[in-house]
Structure 1
Amino acid sequence: MATPSDSTPFHALTEYIALPRVEALALSPDGRSAVLTVAALKKDATGYERSLWAVPADGSGAPRRLTRSAKGESGAAFTADGDLLFVSARADGDGDEESGQLWVLPAAGGEARPATRLAGGVDGIAATAEASERVVIAASLLPASDSLEADAALRARRKEKKVSAILHDAYPVRYWDHDLGPSQPHLLALDLDDLADTIAAVVAETAEEDAADADAAPASEAAASHHEPYPATLPRPRDLTPQPGRSADHAEAALTPDGATLVVSLERHEQRSGRRVIVRIDTATGEQQTLFDEGGVDYEMPAISHDGTRLAYLRTEKSTPQGPTDYELWVADLDGAAARRIAEGWDRWPSSFVFDADDSALIATADSDGRGPVFRIPLDGSTPAQLTHDDFAYSHVAVDRTSGALVALRSSWVVPPHPVRIARDGAVTPLVTPAPAPTAPGTITEVETTAEDGARVRGWLLLPDGASADAPAPLLLWIHGGPLNSWNAWSWRWAPLLAVAQGYAVLLPDPALSTGYGLDFIARGWNSWGDKPYTDLLSITDAVTERDDIDQTRTAAMGGSFGGYMANWVAGHTDRFRAIVTHASLWALDQFAGTTDGSDYWQRIFTPEAMLEHSPHRFVRDIRTPLLVVHGDKDYRVPIGEGLRLWSELAEHHADEDGRMPHRFLYFPDENHWVLKPQHAVVWYETVFAFLAEHVRGEEFVRPELLG
């Protein structure tokens, strides 16, 4: 029987992928306006276009679109004067741009204009200054280049000769879904008040370009090696990290209010691993000073106070097989002196933090009990206070210095990210948004149980409309990745409401290794992934299937990444589920640890004995449940070899004489750890739901049309 919720976007995959998505938030210096990055489906439904929207930060008014271009915009940030910065690959009027450049949209009005013209483009905005027009950008340069002009010429030469080869002299060679090199990431300082916008500057630049063209040889090879001058009308970037190697691959940076000092977390390599250090850089001279560097310790996430005198950062001792280590919050003077730890008894891991309006505390987010609240952490050593107490997870928190209020994005498993204002007393006011929340099918409730060792294990249960003792719903156990993670925030990639719309109840549990429950809860599963994480999952599944609105005879399990590992482990240790979906999954831990993009970490947190003992591949002969194996070829975090070996060994042990078996393998040649292209997301869900319908509901398998 049809219900009112049958009209939600989650009942049709084409409607779901067409939902607009708020991805980021930036707050203007005066606190009056928040700028949202919004992704909207392209007309051909094969990707997303991003644009910037302004919304009033007090909860009034209506959204106003700021940018329109075929290439889209991202990485929004504000200058001290309120000009809006963003990165876009839109053409700047001087030819097509293949890579994104930094653009400036004046606060006073007018057209956006480019502030860079780097041959390799701008990777992102690393930091802006509160009281200066200086900005630091991240951009990649070829290691043999000694200038911006030389970099452009060498790139042109490689392109002309169609050379894609990369020569490495250090580990790693790839990350997540892309190859590293041949260029190296740099941090470049830029003075936006040098952005010349006069007739004289344009005339001078044209004369320079004409002179350079006259000197160039006509032959294509000579032309490709010719050094065209960097535009005189644009501020010339200053390299703050010359010859960086891979040290700035994941740089985290903060600028002092006057823009004079950059504090950045960089990677110091050690053989095939490394440690994070915090370095102070003079943005005028490039002079560097290492503030914090300690063997076996990572220093990350620097944040600078509004008065420019203090530095906050994260200190983490590297974990070993003996157990996880804590995330420690520290503060120090800007020169690194008087360093001290704060919130020492706070058993949570901060995921972000900024200084409060008066610099007397940090405003932080952290996973906590299946949510992601905002906390205020005083610098005087007193107890952290939780500011938000709802069932949401918060991100992109910005401080309004005029009022002390906060502006952020928040989400849950039934509400996508949306902008809100948080008053000093914790009261939350939703802001207007160009992407209003869609109607969610079903309901969400909190569930928990007690594990065999007495630990509390909790999760979220999403129930479809109409689930009751008279019509119990089939159950889908959905296992999160990480494993240091929590089911607390919306994900466009993992959308359990789509399964709810199909009539499934979905259990989202946080077993051992999950964050938000303290270090001891994580330690329960450390170096033993197949132990407490597995028994916790079965315990909470047992508790949920005792409900009279759940059909305990029709259950399935699924997960991706670590969740895929656990799905494989479940398949080899119980036949209680009718079907299992294993996406981007770890199968043979010894093989995975040496082929993933960061092998040192995985081999450092396991003993050799535990890695073997807890490897799912050892139990392939015991698998009795049909598996849907899913893997993308561009997955460098869990390489395709895991999926190929799993499929090969399933065939070796479970195929009949004709090579047939109940398992299936959904392969994406051009997707990575996740399936991100909207047309492929549709195929993914169609295949998963067809597989579940076949084995959980006893229906005939319907092959998705576009799989041929």
Structure 2
Amino acid sequence: MTSPAGEPASPFHDLDVFTALPRLSGLTLSPDGQRLVTTVATRDPKGTGYATALWEVDPTGERAARRLTRSREGEAGAEFAADGTLWFTSARPDPVDEDAEKRSALWALPSHGGEARMVLSRPGGISAVSCARAADRVVVTANRLVGASTEAEHAELTKARKDSGVDAILHTGYPIRFWDHDLGPARPELFVLEEGVDPQGEPASDVDAADAEHPERDEQTESASGAESSSASSASLLDPEAIDAPHHLRHVSGFPRSHAFGLDAQLSPDGTFLLTTVATAEARGNVREGTVVRVDLATGEHRVLHDVPGEDASVGPISNAGTRAILVRTPDSTPERAVHPQLYVLDTDTGRTEPLAHDWDRWGQVVAWLPDDSAVIALADSDGRCPVFRIEIATGTVTQVTREDEAWADVVLSPDGTTAYGVRSSYLFPPEVARIDLATGQTTRLLNPTARPEVPGTLEDVETVTEDGTRVRGWLVLPEGPVPDGGHPLLLWIHGGPLSSWNAWSWRWCPWVMAARGYAVLLPDPALSTGYGQEFIQRGWGQWGQAPYTDLMALTDAVEERPDIDPQRTAAMGGSFGGYMANWVAGHTDRFRCVVTHASLWALDGFGPTTDASFYWTREMTERMQEENSPHRFVSEIVSPMLVIHGDKDYRVPIGEGLRLWYELLASSGLPAGEDGSTAHRFLYFPQENHWILAPQHAQVWYEVVLGFLGEHVLGEPAPALPRTLGL
């Protein structure tokens, strides 16, 4: 659809324009509360990826956003230090050593502006950086080969593997892969960034070697006057602009643990210690992420604060006084008992815990303490939104702060505690930076680096009551313009998770692309969805084919009774758990003209042992539950044409699920094949994509094939012309 001037009516009418829209994420606030920095991703010139840049947003909402960084490789993970230095990671080349290998390195941008400087680069790169709010302390997360005890050994082993062309990994524990990448032989470790040459006599980093090859750096420093030199020597040790000196990493996380998925750390405001959760391997391939360790950052000494068998734990923010922290404790689920994370307050010295807001029937994520430590600010899925909440530490009283139809993320607090800033979105607009008055709950959109695209339709809240008396709700996207005769065609879009909710904008699952083609899109939250209480999750726990399925059908029935919906032209689709439900739907009803299933679970007995975290799956279903709830048993009942989509690098739902589904659809489904053996089923395969389809050119192909499949079977359009890039 185009406007009279020949331009697309909206970005959602043109997939090339849609995939080129800038995408905002993340937020960090300077310690003085004067600077907000976010990240904006834009499509690269070749259209085969996205590059990120750091942008500054004015907290007062008076000045336009300004770009801080610019490079082909992009920047990420921005964090303000106590002195106002902005630290980040980037694979951009070092301007002093253009021949150096490109990898994610540590960079710093001085508080007064100017050029960013590469501070440290090492084999294996830098994963993340954390800064103390009130002290000159920077902690870095980086992968180190397990066989190395020093950075020099790590560099030597890395070079040996590279030079020999060996990428084999010998595993001794579990897990062995995560999402789309292998785990090992390196694992994430924590380091303190320090100035000077490593006391072990190692080269501090690649940057130091570059300094030695370019003595003009030192000459420039030495040319300063004595007064200037004196001033520099008294400046912050971590100010890369004040002291152009080498830096090195001091390892502080040398405690026994399994090959964990990651290693998060909460840094105390005064920079004296950090808290982290250690994953430990147990019998029968189980991994428990439940040991909370306190690490003294001056000595590297660590001690266990919390370790309770039979539960996972994760650490939240540390209080301003440094004496308490938020702890989320999650007892191991069983096939009979759903997962149930709950908040606690942890004493950072003794490890003693006290329950916090256990009467609140939501899964809270605490993001900040108020300046006087009397309360915390939290986020939680709630009724198809993700509002901001305040929780009193003394009483556990929970107060909802924001009230709009929005989902908040990356919330940070002003120094005086009166204002919060965050990234908000809804199904009406993509992520943007906004300000919250914590006293009134009033929100204000700031002057963002990105504009709100105009959506081609309207959004409504819909709900129904099931046969067992349960309220089930969702969002209904309606296309703009007059209602066609018979009503809009309907697309039932089922979310993944399953422990999640349709509440925030998604670039991967964007209903407005469908609305731009005339579809009404139903986004339901069935049993197992978060934000409706623990019992709502328990209804579907281990029984995926029961309450989640009947909830979906009940809300679809209710929406199809509307005069603006055509119940004869409907389709169902979903990804991950939503793909599982799409497969289950296809085997249990013929009401949908076609079904699209992305990264879907098909045979649960095969999925469980091959997913990247099998131990979680064993807590979800018994073998009998797996058999009863496995969609593959109903393949002969499938009569709707199915579009199967899968990425080969998907380790969460391995490619074997898609391969088996495709073969059994062709061999055993109830949809008759043509005389020449042709079928209406289709399989769209991405060799280099993971659980999601991330590359913009592949996302465009994904939408084109899906829209063509829907158009053929729902709208009765001729078989679509396939994207030329498919080579067909």
Matched, 1:275 2:296: no
Contact 2:367 2:412 in 1 (8 A): no
- Residue 180 of structure 1 corresponds to 183
Aligned to 1:612, what secondary structure does the other structure show?
helix
- Residue 298 of structure 2 corresponds to 284
- Residue 73 of structure 1 corresponds to 75
Once the two structures are TM-superposed, the CA of residue 303 in structure 1 deviates from its matched residue by 1.4
C-alpha distance 544-160 of structure 1, shift in aligned 2 (>3 A): same
Of 265, 268, 280 in structure 2, the residue corresponding to residue 253 of structure 1 is 265
1:465-502 deviation line (CA, Å, top 9, x unaligned): 12537461100000000000000001111111100001
Once the two structures are TM-superposed, the CA of residue 559 in structure 1 deviates from its matched residue by 0.1
Matches within 5 A, 1:572-583: 572-583=587-598
- Residue 495 of structure 1 corresponds to 510
Matches within 5 A, 1:484-563: 484-563=499-578
CA distance in 2, matches of 1:89, 1:66: 16
Contact 1:342 1:379 in 2 (8 A): yes
Once the two structures are TM-superposed, the CA of residue 15 in structure 1 deviates from its matched residue by 0.4
- Residue 322 of structure 1 corresponds to 336
Matched AA of 1:386 = Q
Matched, 1:608 2:623: yes
Of 149, 152, 158 in structure 1, the residue corresponding to residue 152 of structure 2 is 149
- Residue 231 of structure 2 corresponds to none
CA distance in 1, matches of 2:623, 2:208: 62
Of 169, 172, 192 in structure 1, the residue corresponding to residue 172 of structure 2 is 169
Matched AA of 1:422 = I
- Residue 669 of structure 1 corresponds to 687
Of 96, 111, 117 in structure 1, the residue corresponding to residue 115 of structure 2 is 111
- Residue 314 of structure 2 corresponds to 300
- Residue 236 of structure 2 corresponds to none
CA distance in 1, matches of 2:123, 2:662: 43
Once the two structures are TM-superposed, the CA of residue 154 in structure 1 deviates from its matched residue by 1.5
Matched, 1:690 2:708: yes
Of 453, 471, 491 in structure 2, the residue corresponding to residue 476 of structure 1 is 491
C-alpha distance 262-554 of structure 1, shift in aligned 2 (>3 A): same
- Residue 97 of structure 1 corresponds to 101
Structure 2 residues without counterparts, runs of 5 or longer: 199-203, 214-242
Contact 1:303 1:312 in 2 (8 A): yes
1:123-148 deviation line (CA, Å, top 9, x unaligned): 112x3211112111110111121211
Once the two structures are TM-superposed, the CA of residue 302 in structure 1 deviates from its matched residue by 2.6
1:596-625 deviation line (CA, Å, top 9, x unaligned): 001111122102111100000000000010
Aligned to 2:157, what secondary structure does the other structure show?
helix
CA distance in 2, matches of 1:442, 1:572: 32
Matched AA of 1:65 = R
- Residue 218 of structure 1 corresponds to none
C-alpha distance 246-39 of structure 1, shift in aligned 2 (>3 A): farther
Matched AA of 2:74 = G
- Residue 226 of structure 1 corresponds to none
- Residue 348 of structure 2 corresponds to 334
CA distance in 2, matches of 1:207, 1:615: 58
Once the two structures are TM-superposed, the CA of residue 325 in structure 1 deviates from its matched residue by 3.6
CA distance in 1, matches of 2:533, 2:653: 27
- Residue 377 of structure 1 corresponds to 391
Matched AA of 2:695 = K
Contact 1:53 1:67 in 2 (8 A): yes
C-alpha distance 206-448 of structure 1, shift in aligned 2 (>3 A): closer
C-alpha distance 27-232 of structure 1, shift in aligned 2 (>3 A): closer
CA distance in 2, matches of 1:205, 1:614: 58
Once the two structures are TM-superposed, the CA of residue 641 in structure 1 deviates from its matched residue by 0.2
Matched, 1:349 2:363: yes
CA distance in 2, matches of 1:20, 1:667: 27
- Residue 128 of structure 1 corresponds to 131
Matched AA of 2:22 = P
Once the two structures are TM-superposed, the CA of residue 2 in structure 1 deviates from its matched residue by 7.2
Of 401, 421, 438 in structure 2, the residue corresponding to residue 407 of structure 1 is 421
Aligned to 2:523, what secondary structure does the other structure show?
strand
Once the two structures are TM-superposed, the CA of residue 3 in structure 1 deviates from its matched residue by 7.6
Contact 2:386 2:407 in 1 (8 A): yes
Q: How many residues align?
A: 681
CA distance in 1, matches of 2:272, 2:128: 20
Once the two structures are TM-superposed, the CA of residue 571 in structure 1 deviates from its matched residue by 0.2
Matched, 1:234 2:252: no
CA distance in 2, matches of 1:691, 1:361: 52
CA distance in 2, matches of 1:499, 1:301: 40
Aligned to 1:421, what secondary structure does the other structure show?
strand
CA distance in 1, matches of 2:19, 2:104: 25
Matched AA of 1:98 = K
Mean Cα deviation higher: 684-693 or 343-352: 343-352
C-alpha distance 166-325 of structure 1, shift in aligned 2 (>3 A): closer
Matched, 1:639 2:654: yes
CA distance in 2, matches of 1:296, 1:507: 39
Q: What is the percentage of aligned positions where both structures have the same residue?
A: 52
Matched, 1:361 2:375: yes
1:341-369 deviation line (CA, Å, top 9, x unaligned): 01010000023422123211110000000
Matched AA of 2:395 = G
CA distance in 2, matches of 1:403, 1:666: 50
Backbone CA RMSD of aligned residues: 2.1
Contact 2:56 2:66 in 1 (8 A): yes
Of 62, 77, 80 in structure 2, the residue corresponding to residue 60 of structure 1 is 62
Once the two structures are TM-superposed, the CA of residue 594 in structure 1 deviates from its matched residue by 0.7
Aligned to 1:122, what secondary structure does the other structure show?
coil
CA distance in 1, matches of 2:471, 2:678: 43
- Residue 388 of structure 1 corresponds to 402
Once the two structures are TM-superposed, the CA of residue 284 in structure 1 deviates from its matched residue by 1.5
Once the two structures are TM-superposed, the CA of residue 247 in structure 1 deviates from its matched residue by 5.1
- Residue 719 of structure 2 corresponds to 701
Mean Cα deviation higher: 14-23 or 344-353: 344-353
Once the two structures are TM-superposed, the CA of residue 324 in structure 1 deviates from its matched residue by 1.1
Contact 2:196 2:248 in 1 (8 A): no
Matched, 1:138 2:152: no
C-alpha distance 146-461 of structure 1, shift in aligned 2 (>3 A): same
Matched AA of 2:185 = P
Contact 1:264 1:302 in 2 (8 A): no
Contact 2:175 2:260 in 1 (8 A): no
Mean Cα deviation higher: 102-111 or 568-577: 102-111
Aligned to 1:31, what secondary structure does the other structure show?
coil
- Residue 18 of structure 2 corresponds to 16
TM score, norm. by length of structure 1: 0.93
Contact 1:133 1:193 in 2 (8 A): no
CA distance in 2, matches of 1:401, 1:117: 33
1:227-254 deviation line (CA, Å, top 9, x unaligned): xxxx993222111112655455322211
Contact 2:257 2:281 in 1 (8 A): no
CA distance in 2, matches of 1:661, 1:469: 31
CA distance in 1, matches of 2:38, 2:258: 31
Once the two structures are TM-superposed, the CA of residue 91 in structure 1 deviates from its matched residue by 1.6
CA distance in 1, matches of 2:318, 2:651: 34
C-alpha distance 432-645 of structure 1, shift in aligned 2 (>3 A): same
C-alpha distance 352-688 of structure 1, shift in aligned 2 (>3 A): farther
Mean Cα deviation higher: 74-83 or 22-31: 22-31
